[in-house]
Amino acid sequence: MQQPKPERSEAHTIDHDSTRRAAKTALAALPVSGDMRRQCAKTLLAYFPRSGNTRVVAGLIRRARRTDLFEIVPAAAYPEDYLETVEQARKERKTGYAPALQSRVADIAD
């Protein structure tokens, strides 16, 4: 028997949105110095997007830190429903299952 999905309150959504905005603002304000650019020239930022927000934040970090960017995309898509995705991820972690990916980083040594 399937458990009913918990309802999200409007207050939860507002708090979540304001937290997200604050994180984006903080990341966008990170200083970019010449020294940091030289230090991070060989940095790869790999991210697993649940929504467009993760992609935006990864892009902000990439620009601020001059990194390469790699989007982790599973071969089989996760459910659209957030709670179903969380449950699937819990099961995968518990069993040690690593889902197949659409692509991999070609040569991390470069």
More confident residue, 32 or 93: 93
What is d(CA 101, CA 47) in angstroms, rounded to the nearest whole number?
A: 13
> One-letter amino acid identity for 77?
A
- Residue ranges per domain, the chain? 21-72, 75-103
Residue 35: pLDDT over 50: no
Q: In angstroms, rounded to a whole number, what is the distance separating the alpha carbons of residues 104 and 70? A: 9
What predicted TM-score, i.e. pTM, was given to this entire model?
0.58
pLDDT score for 33: 45
pLDDT tens readout for residues 46-79: 999 887 888 999 999 999 998 888 999 999 999 9
Q: Which token pair is 74?
A: 């599973």
Looking at residue 105, its pLDDT comes to: 85
